[in-house]
A and B are shown apart, each in its own frame.
Chain A
């Protein structure tokens, strides 16, 4: 049964993945260095001793079955979990060598540098312009009205949305389609010029065309940003990422170049998962 799956699915994936591996083999500096991270919701341990080095200006994908901790882990990287009561983190997360859980790190400042895009697009119930301008305003990143307008435009262009919305910037963001809303959320995150962009299943609620737009965007954005993307969709991980991490029951099982993860994984669990034997 399952061999049929792997015979049909894997060769096509491997074809895509091998293109990525050409780039992936180049050694790049580490942007996010996580050492021995465990995470608890109350008494429940959601992550156990995770260590991973996420390379700069590449796309790293987190895959794994539901509840494996991949989203929780993503949210430890910008301390988004801090707003949930009763959680606890142990271990260290270094971004550019600085411990983000250290006493001198302010989570508010951290989140300017580590942006986030959520699974369900969540534009503010304001105009398209105001959605992108919000982050610039609260962080005091634009000195004048013209600078603000310029930076909003730059961000919308970077998120490949400018041409679709340039004539209706004052229209409500909620009037956009699902895919456009998600790209608006990406534009909004890019506006504050983060260095790392975390994406939590950004295309899971979108149709195939909108998904393709997002994936193309991710591919372009890695020139300037370190991207970490959580996805349920293994083809997506294979298409967009340079490296893939496989999580299972709160543990990081394997982390390697995406091409290797999908063709010759070391762990039996990884192989079973990427070939569709469970999950």
Chain B
């Protein structure tokens, strides 16, 4: 075999291996979706969406968990986003480029990789016990906000860093202050990137179970949250609860719950894409 033929075969082999890896990933995802839809799609109905949990699988619904998730994730966004963007602006625009700044950056990146159950323990100690917020929506949201914060900071920082220095110079050259430059020129340009990072962080957070179980979110909640002090449950906890029941019918409920969670994620990501497009033009 000539060298040229060998390279040709090597090229084909790599192409095949790449294709195989891609198909494997897609195949697993498709199998998962198929399994969930075949188990749970029959259970999706208006009643399922608007009923509270029940001991009888056919009467049980997801209303409390769905509202719980919406409450928690909205509050998480309200806590994590302003703090995250604020921290990113400080670190990127005011923090300098010294050793201290690098240490902070590395630590934030590490925080983004800390297992979520650790955040649950922190939330239990800090919010539930020390601040005596109890097993409330606000305690859950604060815990999840801690979890989302490093990702929001990192992605916002990256979006800010990607703004061309020429744009900043143009603003400074007209007699703008640092804050005017950031507010009027840098932030609008960085916004699509910031929004994308924010939604990705919130999407990940929405699927979290461990930290909320750790802080003591309830698994059987026959009422919708009526405020930030209310006890609550969320979709993944409800799914977890149903999966651990022995009866077949509850497994179908679990699959249906997952479908609802996936649909919610899809809506959120669609919203992110829409926002991004809107601000890019």
Contacts and interface: CB of A to CB of B under 8 A. Distances in A.
Interface of A: 78, 80, 83, 85, 108-112, 115-116, 118, 120, 122-125, 134-135, 138-139, 185, 188-189, 192
Given A83-B168, A122-B166, A122-B167, A116 B177 contact: no
Given A111-B174, A112-B174, A83 B169 contact: yes
**Top 6 A-B residue pairs of the complex, sorted by shortest distance between their CB atoms:** A112-B175, A135-B174, A116-B173, A122-B166, A111-B175, A122-B170
A98 to B, nearest CB: 16
Contacts of A116: 169, 173
Given A125-B189, A134-B184, A192 B172 contact: no
Contacts of A125: 167, 188-189
Interface in B158-190: 164, 166-177, 180, 184-185, 188-189
A189 B166 CA distance: 14
User: Which one of A116, A120, A124, A192 has the greatest number of beta carbons of chain B within 10 Å?
Assistant: A124
User: Which one of B176, B188, B189 has the greatest number of beta carbons of chain A within 10 Å?
Assistant: B176
Interface of B: 96-97, 164, 166-177, 180, 184-185, 188-189
User: Which one of A110, A134, A185 has the greatest number of beta carbons of chain B within 10 Å?
Assistant: A134
B97 A85 contact: yes
Nearest to B173: A116
Nearest to B185: A124
A120 B167 CA distance: 11
20 contacts: A80-B169, A85-B96, A111-B172, A111-B174, A111-B175, A115-B174, A118-B169, A120-B166, A122-B166, A122-B167, A122-B170, A124-B171, A125-B167, A134-B171, A134-B174, A138-B177, A139-B174, A185-B170, A188-B170, A189-B174
Contacts of A78: 173
A241 to B, nearest CB: 21
Contacts of B180: 138
Contacts of A111: 172-175
Interface of B is mostly: helix
B173 A108 contact: no
Nearest to A124: B185
Nearest to B96: A85
A189 B184 contact: no
Contacts of B177: 108, 138
B176 to A, nearest CB: 5
Nearest to A136: B174
A85 B174 CA distance: 20
A193 to B, nearest CB: 11
B175 A122 contact: no
A105 to B, nearest CB: 13
A109 B175 contact: yes
A125 B97 CA distance: 27
B170 A118 contact: yes
Contacts of A134: 171, 174, 176, 184
B227 to A, nearest CB: 42
Contacts of A85: 96-97
Nearest to A185: B170
Nearest to B166: A122
A135 B169 contact: no
Given A85-B97, A124-B185, A134-B184, A118 B175 contact: no
A80 B188 CA distance: 23
Contacts of B188: 125
Nearest to B280: A125
Contacts of B174: 111-112, 115, 134-135, 138-139, 188-189, 192
Nearest to A85: B97
Nearest to A84: B165
Contact of B176 (A120, A138, A185, A189): A138
A116 B172 CA distance: 10
A125 B173 CA distance: 16
A188 B175 CA distance: 12
